[in-house]
A = this chain, B = another copy of it.
């Protein structure tokens, strides 16, 4: 008897058949004696369809009304899931984010969960029901305004709810089998990982692994809620993301990210306050800066490069060009044909020479490195966009991550 939060993404609830499939899984867990809370995303492409409707009506930004609009998506899927569960003879009720007590900041489209007052969820569980909660949405308790959490929001809802309820596990059902040692679409020998530590998962997510967003992992780590990432299409064990893993890997996985572009500011005078002069206005404009690299200065002049999501390139260029004169720089270059390749592994902390081996592997495959950034358990290289696939394959081949015992996880 445990308390389980199960999150099903848009693909898992994309049509009536899949919703009935979700219901079967939920009811199975419930019948096994568990209390089950279900968090659902909007059906399949329905969020995109709502965005398209909004674009059709208006080309301007209406953050409050956009949240009102988009939250209709989970409302639809959660009601349908509740119906399908009831059809299997188990009492169920759906709750909106607001009804479930998901309290957030007031930033429409990008709200952060600040508290969860899950009284109605608990009451539902006490009545023996499965409670279905809308993912991705909440309410700002001061303005009473409906908010959405932005990308990966449903995962965040699930993990935060699991933390608030003191759940034993948060299961994230998805259309892949778990977290892999590399993207299996690129690397045929990539393996599903049985276990990944929170710390590693945070780095993998930040380095481009799409299966879990960093914010959900962060919640899991802060409140010590084990996250089980698994397939919604079969019963196999997926990947456990948790604090302590059985075996510490030097390289747990190879991640890549082609969603960013590189902006370079040339001829920057090497004096105090210049970097702040560039990055403060970017931050103020909400541009999401990832890697920042500054070369050693030659004759008092240096280059500063940084990466931003491609969607932020226009804003980043405009802002950077406007500050070039004020900081006395020479000019700005934008390059959107780049990719980031990263090695992640908690064992790196105690192992020397991983970085140099990484650079050697890339060199042997004729891949040029344009930027480098490291954390204690991660090394990332920016390479040409066209080189990303080859880089991922050669690194996976060179480091052979996930050489773990074959038996299932013991959690």
Chain A residues at the B interface, C-beta cutoff of 8 Å: 15-16, 19-20, 50, 53-54, 56-58, 60, 62, 64-66, 68-69, 71-73, 75-76, 78-80, 82-84, 86-87, 93-94, 96, 99, 120, 144
B83/A79 in contact, CB under 8 A: no
- Cβ-defined contact, A68 with B62, below 8 A: no
Q: Is A71 a contact of B60 with CB atoms below 8 Å?
A: no
Complex Cα distance A251/B78, Å? Answer: 51
The 6 closest A-B pairs by CB, nearest first: A69-B79, A16-B56, A72-B72, A68-B79, A58-B83, A65-B79
Chain B's nearest CB lies how many Å from the CB of A375? Answer: 41
Cβ A53 vs Cβ B82 within 8 A: no
Q: Are B75 and A60 in contact (CB under 8 A)?
A: no
Give chain B residues whose Cβ lies under 8 Å from the Cβ of A94. 65, 68
Inter-chain pairs besides A68-B94, A69-B79, A120-B144, 15 sampled, C-beta below 8 Å: A20-B57, A53-B80, A57-B80, A58-B86, A60-B83, A62-B79, A65-B83, A65-B86, A68-B75, A68-B78, A68-B82, A69-B75, A72-B75, A75-B75, A99-B144
Contact B87 A60 (CB under 8 A): yes
What CA separation (Å) do A50 and B80 show in the bound complex? 10
Residues of B contacting A120 in the complex (Cβ-Cβ under 8 angstroms): 144
Bound Cα distance from A20 to B30, whole angstroms: 48
**Are A84 and B57 in contact (CB-based, < 8 A)?**
yes
**Cα–Cα, bound, A54→B87 (Å):** 12
Using Cβ atoms and an 8 Å threshold, which residues of chain B touch A69? 75-76, 79-80
Which of B62, B72, B79, B84 is A76 in contact with, Cβ under 8 Å?
B72
This protein's copies in its complex = 2
Nearest-neighbor residue (CB-CB) of A43 within chain B: B53
A333-B56 Cα distance, complex, nearest whole Å: 53
Contacts of A93 in B (CB 8 A): 64-65
A158 to chain B, nearest CB (A): 19
Q: Looking at A20, A56, A62, A86, which has the most chain B CB atoms within 10 Å of its CB?
A: A62
Which residue of B is nearest A59, CB measured? B87
Tell me whether B62 and A82 are in contact (CB under 8 A). yes
Chain B residues, CB < 8 A from A83: 54, 57-58, 60, 62, 65-66
Nearest to A53 among chain B residues (CB) is B80
Cβ–Cβ < 8 Å partners of A99 in chain B:
144
What is the distance, in angstroms, from A154's C-beta to the closest C-beta of chain B? 17
Chain B nearest Cβ from A70, distance in angstroms: 8
Nearest Cβ on chain B to A365's Cβ, whole angstroms? 50
- Closest chain B residue, CB of each to CB of A19: B57
| Chain B neighbourhood of A58, CB < 8 A | 80, 83-84, 86-87
Chain B residues lying within 8 Å of A66, measured Cβ to Cβ, are 79, 83
Return A253 CB to nearest CB of chain B, in Å. Answer: 37
Residue of B nearest to A71 (CB): B75
Q: How far is the CA of A93 from the CA of B87 in the complex (A)?
A: 38
CB distance from A115 to the nearest CB of B (A): 19
Cα A26 to Cα B64 in complex, Å, equals 20
A17 → B minimal CB distance (Å): 9
Complex: A64 Cα to B99 Cα, angstroms: 14
A-B contact pairs, 27 of them (CB 8 A): A19-B57, A20-B57, A53-B80, A54-B80, A57-B83, A58-B83, A58-B84, A60-B87, A62-B79, A64-B82, A64-B93, A65-B80, A65-B83, A65-B93, A66-B79, A66-B83, A68-B75, A68-B78, A68-B96, A69-B75, A69-B76, A71-B75, A72-B72, A72-B73, A72-B75, A72-B79, A75-B75
